[in-house]
Amino acid sequence: MIFAAVAWLGAAEAAHAQGFFNFFGGGSGPIPRTLVTFPTRYAPGTVVVNTPERRLYLVLGNGQALRYGIGVGRDGFRWGGVHRVTGKKEWPSWTPPSQMLRRRPDLPRHMAGGIDNPLGARAIYLGSTLYRIHGSNEPETIGQAVSSGCFRMTNEDVTDLYDRVSVGATVVVVN
């Protein structure tokens, strides 16, 4: 019984460090999640990624959106277009694509899901692309251009977005 309580407290402390207990607040990442005015023609539930701003907007309707800080693709890895959410995974595993392995042969060929995985706590898959909106084991990179084309969020923010976005939702990426 004491062992179970100690294990639970350790897990709770780790979850708190990742921000999972500050679910409805502004977030604990470098760029707080914020409710903003967002006049748009997009339907509620649409995700708008503004790459130059390094922000992601979830359209709520009535001229409002949730704004999240994101990490974006570095030079040469930015892209734009319209896709749909085709899948969602909790604590996803990661297999670097062949293009990435050619650039970085030091990377593992596969990594099981978990706190050390670069995809973080959640992944939202975009159309038939190799790209995702996902968490990160490097929250200090949020607001920077460091990825190979995916959009990084803090684990807290990607968990919040994951719970709000449905498979089939439209994702508009503005470059």
Confidence bin at 74 (pLDDT 50/70/90): confident
Contacts of 127 (CB under 8 A, 6+ apart): 83, 84, 86, 171
pLDDT digits (tens, 9 = 90+) for 104-150: 989 888 889 998 889 999 999 999 998 999 999 899 999 999 998 89
For residue 49, pLDDT beyond 90: yes
Helix/strand/coil percentages in the chain, nearest 5: 20, 30, 50
pLDDT at residue number 3? 39
pLDDT at residue number 26? 63
- Domain ranges for the chain: 29-174
**Dist. CA 175–CA 166, nearest whole Å:** 23
pLDDT at residue number 109? 86
| Residue position matching structure tokens 């040469």 | 76
Q: Are strands 64-69 and 34-37 parallel, antiparallel or unpaired?
A: antiparallel
Task: Using the Cα atoms of residue 165, residue 17, residue 71 and residue 110 in order, give the sign of their dihedral.
Answer: negative
pLDDT digits (tens, 9 = 90+) for 2-40: 433 333 334 434 444 444 434 434 666 789 999 999 999
The CATH class, in words, for 29-174 is: mainly beta
**Residue 135 near residue 123 (C-beta atoms within 8 A):** yes
Average pLDDT on 55-60 reads: 98
